[in-house]
Amino acid sequence: MIIGFVQTKGGTGKSTLAVNIAFSNAVARAFDSIALVELDPQGTLRNWWEEREEMGYDCSRVSFHHISSTQKEVFQEGIKAIAQHNQLMIMDIPGEGTGKLHTRFACAFCDIAVIPMRQSTNDESAFLTNLYPIIKDIVLAVPEKRGRFHVLPVFTHPRTSIDKCYAYFNEVLPPYVTCLKAVYPARSVYENFNRKGLNLNEYAAVVATNRKFRQQVEKAVKDVETIANRLIRIGREKNASAKGK
């Protein structure tokens, strides 16, 4: 299964989500081999991974791959090779202002494309202008790709009514795109968990003796596990549907 976190805007939480979904307990239970793939030339995750290696953290069943090439054939072959050797691939797609080569490839190649999006008119407008035309072209060209595109509400207030959040997106989203039944709340812990190559679960262990921090991290871990479980369920449903045809 291939999951891509896709959004032409930067700063929507793609990298944080990709990292922590890859290292989630739900994913560890469901898959024996996981590849975390960064396509961003800036190498934010690559730097984070190098810190992990320097600190000697256990990477378990997760491997990291950085593909910075903007040549279509190069990263296509790289992605295909990684996919052949892993049960799950999670791709972190860079925000792209022009060309959107990686975005187009991810939308076409992924089994599940997760689109982190705020509940705001600005994000709604940017999505409809930049990303939705790509999705629409892909679905019209290959109808079986319908149902692969899911908006994940991000930076929601922790006390926001989830049902109202879903209702908002279900009202504004165009055809071929659905709202994922999970949210990514705004939590300060997401800003500082990854120092020295940590993931959320490891950070929870570091702050275990600080009750306030521990509670914050535990809530964040629960957020991620909910999202991971939902994505796994969607993937299994799609797989069962494909086998039944």
In this prediction, residues 68-83 reach a mean pLDDT of: 82
C-alpha–C-alpha distance, residues 198 and 63, integer Å:
15
Mean pLDDT of all residues in the chain? 90
Look at phi and psi of residue 99 and say left if phi exceeds 0, alpha if psi is from -120 to 50, else beta: left
Q: Structural domains in the chain? A: 2-244 (3.40.50.300)
| pLDDT at res. 74 | 80
Cα dihedral sign, 13-14-15-20: positive
Confidence (pLDDT) at 245: 60
Tell me the CA distances in angstroms from 63 to 8, 45, 52, 56, 205, one per residue in order.
Answer: 25, 12, 12, 14, 22
How far apart, in whole angstroms, are the C-alpha atoms of residue 183 and residue 157?
Answer: 10
Please name the residue that has the structure tokens 């378990």: 60
Q: Which string of b and e fits 7-18 if b means at least 16 CB within 10 Å? A: bbbeebbbbbbb
* pTM > 0.85: yes or no: yes
Q: Note the pLDDT tens digit of each residue in 143-168.
A: 999 999 999 999 999 888 889 999 99
